[in-house]
Structure formats: C-alpha cells, structure tokens
C-alpha cells in the first residue's frame, strides 16, 4: 500500500492551494459579509479547470482522476466553502450526471460551457415536503406529444438563481413510485421556470440558494436525461460523487482550522508565554490534526476506489459522515483556541464553523449516511421504519 501522492497529484494540490490563497481567500470575508455570490470568481474557477476536473477532455474537462479532483476540492474548501459549493454542485452533481447519463447531443450542448464556467448548473432534487425521502418527490412531468410539461416546486437549490440549466427530478407516473422518476435538463430561461433567493442562512452566505417553481414548463423529448425510471439512479449516483466532494472540502476546513490555530497559538501570549506552550491548547490542536488526517485518509480511500471504477457507496458515506462531522468539531475547537478573537470574522474560524454546519445536513444528513453504512454491514434497510401498529 502506497499512501504517497504521485508527483502530478502533489503538483495539482500545491498549485490549487496557491490559486485559492491568491484568488479566493482575499475575497471570502467580504463575500460572506455581503451575502454575495461571486460570479466572477466562479468564472475564474472554470477558467483554471476546477469546474470540470474529472470530466473527459472530449467535453471540455481536464480528465483528472478522482483523487486529484478531491485534492483541488480540499484546497477550495480550505479557502471558502461557498466557492467549494460551486465546484461540488457544478462538477459532481451536474457535469458528472450529464457525462454519465447524457446522450452525445446533451453532453456536447452543456458540458463544455459548464466546465469552462461560462454557464452554471443546479441540481433540483429536494422539495418543500421531500428531503431525505427523495423518492417521494411530487414534481410532476406529463407527456405533451413530443415533449414534456413539468410542474412542481424545489427547495434549497444551490446555484438555483444563477444557473443556466437545472437538473429537475420529476415523477412521470405516481403509481410506479420510484420507478416512475425521471431527470430532465431544463434551461432556466424556459417559460414557467422561476426562482426565489433564500436568505438568512447560518453559513454559506456567499453561496446562492434558491427555491424553484415550475409552472407547466415545456421541454422537448431531448431534455430527458437517461430513461424514464432512471431518475432515482441518476440522483443516487450523483450524490455518491457529491458526497465525496463535500467530504474533500471538509478536509480543507479541518486543515484551515489547524493552520489558523497553530498561527494564533504561537503568536498570542498569556501568562507571559505563547498559548502554544499550554498543554491544554496543544491538546485541542492535536485533536484537530487527528481528525483532519483521519478524514483525509477516508477521502483518499473513496477517491482511489472511484478512480479505479470500483463500488464505493459505503466508503463514500463513511468519508462524508466522518469528514463533515470532523469539520464541525475542528471549527469549534479552532474558535476555542482563538478565545474571544475567534468569535468575530477577523479570523476565518467562525466562518469555518458556520459553513461547516450545513455539510452534515445536505447531500444526505449524517443520519442518512449512518443508515447507508449500517445497511451495508447488516443487510437490513433501516431507512424506512415499519409502520406503527394501531
């Protein structure tokens, strides 16, 4: 077993860190304060190839292996989780789904522009009444001769207000339950498609979040991604990749917490000595380092399996569960190391905590990850409880 990165992976990681320190870090605090989605920065991410890293070069991507993609996401996550969200949604959820399930026509139409950052995409699965139980979604797609008419609502959709294309998951036949689900590539300029901004978030304030309304949105037959009945499989395969990306970003948060805490603890003095001299402060830093390294190894394992095309749903859930929870714990510890200074945004650690918090909720909550891991271990599906007896 070789745990070292290749020279090329090392280079990818170092250049991503340099890019993020130069381009993202200086803008993170102001974008967070202003709740501003930084479209210009998103375009820059596309320009440097960070929005389509694992997508084939045939469609405008960089054709990188999944571990290399994870290394880039780690650095973006270290700099700003709002920007990491752009990378995760665009690359893992949108481009990854189109590349895997799309026709040649769909791939050529959307992927080059998405990879370049010229267009943004969003992933519309969650609805006001269906979150964890995604298969119960109510958005309805009805046939209209050659095409489809889609009506329904989507909730909490990242990039929803700024995307040019939306992956919309919809039910084609409620009697078929999850076998009736389908996914559509809907241009957001289509009549009947409208969005509303969601504000007041605890964190990810510089990330765009929307509710979507679809009112008899007419699309052609070529908008269908995959086949009717593939919707649930498309959503689950997308989330397998999205979870990996979220986990990698959380390793970046943990790493940022360690660096900020070491820097602060070696500079700040109390009782005449640097904070770093106190054993209890070192213990907090050591706890962060252990969590960061464990999270990183779990992400590397999942990335390695993905790169080799091997099954990885359980390993990805393990990485997502551990890394997201670790990022919350590390950010909380980092604030503690900073004392009162950690409670304001002169330092990045309070933003790390606010931004980390959502990662245990989206792309499958921590409870859902545990149910996936438990199901793999026992063969029992505890996701849907038995109906209570009267």
Ligand X SMILES: Cc1cc2nc3c(=O)[nH]c(=O)nc-3n(C[C@H](O)[C@H](O)[C@H](O)COP(=O)(O)OP(=O)(O)OC[C@H]3O[C@@H](n4cnc5c(N)ncnc54)[C@H](O)[C@@H]3O)c2cc1C
Binding mask 162-201 for ligand X (x = CB under 6 A): ---------------------------------------x
**361 near ligand X (CB under 6 A):** yes
Taking the complex as a whole, how short is the minimal distance between the CB of residue 225 and ligand X, in angstroms? 15
Q: Which is nearer to ligand X, 9 or 188 (CB)?
A: 188
Taking the complex as a whole, how short is the minimal distance between the CB of residue 367 and ligand X, in angstroms? 3
Interaction with ligand X in 112-131: which residues (CB under 6 A)? 122-126, 131
Alpha helices by DSSP H, listed for 80-121, are 81-87, 96-101, 104-116
| Token pair in block for residue 114 | 């998405």
For 296, what's the count of Cα atoms within 13 Å in the CB-facing half-sphere?
A: 21
Give the separation between CA 129 and CA 137, rounded to whole angstroms.
8
Contacts of 175 (CB under 8 A, 6+ apart): none
User: Which residue is catalytic, options 118, 363, 380, 389?
Assistant: 363
- What burial letters (b/e) apply to 26-44, b meaning 16+ CB within 10 Å? ebbbebbeebebbeebbeb
Q: Which is nearer to ligand X, 115 or 125 (CB)?
A: 125
Interaction with ligand X in 371-390: which residues (CB under 6 A)? 371, 383
Residues binding ligand X: number (CB under 6 A)? 23
Q: Which stretch binds ligand X (CB under 6 A): 101-109, 174-182, 302-310, 362-370?
A: 362-370
Could you give the C-alpha distances from 332 to 217, 232, 258, 329, 346, in angstroms and in order? Answer: 44, 36, 11, 5, 16
Could you give the C-alpha distances from 74 to 79, 87, 229, 255, 300, in angstroms and in order? Answer: 9, 11, 34, 9, 11
By beta carbon distance, the residue nearest ligand X is: 131
**358 near ligand X (CB under 6 A):** yes
Residue in 156, 232, 244, 352 binding ligand X, rule: CB under 6 A = 156
Taking the complex as a whole, how short is the minimal distance between the CB of residue 146 and ligand X, in angstroms? 28
| Token pair in block for residue 124 | 């519309």
Tokens 């009947």, located at residue? 192
Taking the complex as a whole, how short is the minimal distance between the CB of residue 104 and ligand X, in angstroms? 26
The string of DSSP codes covering 16-53 is HHHHIIIIIHHHHHHHHHHT---HHHHHHHHHTT-SST
**333 near ligand X (CB under 6 A):** no
Is 227 one of the annotated active-site residues of the chain?
no
Residue in 89, 120, 162, 333 binding ligand X, rule: CB under 6 A = 89
Q: Which residues form the catalytic set?
A: 363
What residues make contact with ligand X under the rule CB under 6 A? 89, 122-126, 131-132, 156-158, 201, 204, 209, 358, 361-363, 365, 367-368, 371, 383
């Amino acid at each position: 077993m070789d745990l070292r990165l290749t020279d090329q992976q090392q280079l990818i990681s170092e250049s991503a860190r340099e890019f993020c320190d130069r381009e993202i870090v200086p803008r993170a605090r102001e974008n967070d304060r202003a709740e501003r989605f930084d479209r210009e920065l998103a375009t820059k991410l596309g320009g440097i190839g960070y929005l389509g890293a694992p997508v084939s070069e045939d469609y405008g991507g960089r054709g990188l292996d999944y571990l290399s993609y994870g290394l880039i996401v780690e650095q973006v996550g270290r700099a700003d989780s709002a920007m990491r969200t752009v990378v995760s949604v665009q690359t893992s959820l949108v481009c990854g789904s189109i590349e895997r399930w799309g026709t040649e026509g769909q791939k050529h139409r959307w992927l080059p522009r998405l990879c370049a950052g010229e267009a943004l995409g969003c992933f519309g699965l969650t609805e006001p009444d269906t979150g964890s139980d995604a298969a119960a979604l109510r958005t309805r797609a009805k046939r209209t001769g050659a095409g489809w008419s889609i009506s329904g609502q989507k909730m909490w959709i990242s990039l929803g207000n700024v995307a040019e294309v939306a992956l919309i998951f919809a039910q084609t036949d409620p009697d078929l339950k999850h076998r009736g689900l389908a996914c559509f590539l809907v241009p957001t300029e289509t009549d009947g498609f409208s969005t509303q901004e969601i504000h007041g978030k605890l964190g990810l304030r510089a990330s765009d979040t929307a509710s979507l309304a679809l009112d008899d949105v007419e699309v052609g037959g070529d908008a269908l991604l995959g086949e009717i009945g593939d919707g649930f499989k498309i959503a689950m395969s997308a989330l397998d990749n999205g979870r990996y990306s979220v986990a990698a970003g959380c390793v970046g948060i943990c790493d940022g917490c360690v660096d900020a805490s070491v820097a602060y603890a070696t500079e700040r003095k109390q009782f005449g000595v640097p904070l770093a001299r106190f054993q209890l402060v070192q213990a907090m830093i050591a706890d962060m380092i252990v969590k960061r390294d464990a999270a990183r190894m779990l992400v590397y394992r999942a990335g390695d399996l993905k790169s080799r095309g091997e099954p990885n749903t359980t390993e990805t859930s393990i990485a997502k569960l551990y890394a997201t929870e670790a990022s919350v714990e590390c950010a909380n510890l980092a604030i503690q190391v900073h004392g009162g200074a950690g409670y304001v945004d002169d330092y990045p650690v309070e933003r790390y905590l606010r931004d980390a918090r959502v990662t245990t909720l989206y792309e499958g909550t921590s409870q859902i990850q545990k149910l996936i891991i438990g199901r793999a271990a026992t063969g029992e599906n505890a996701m849907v409880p038995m109906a209570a007896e009267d």
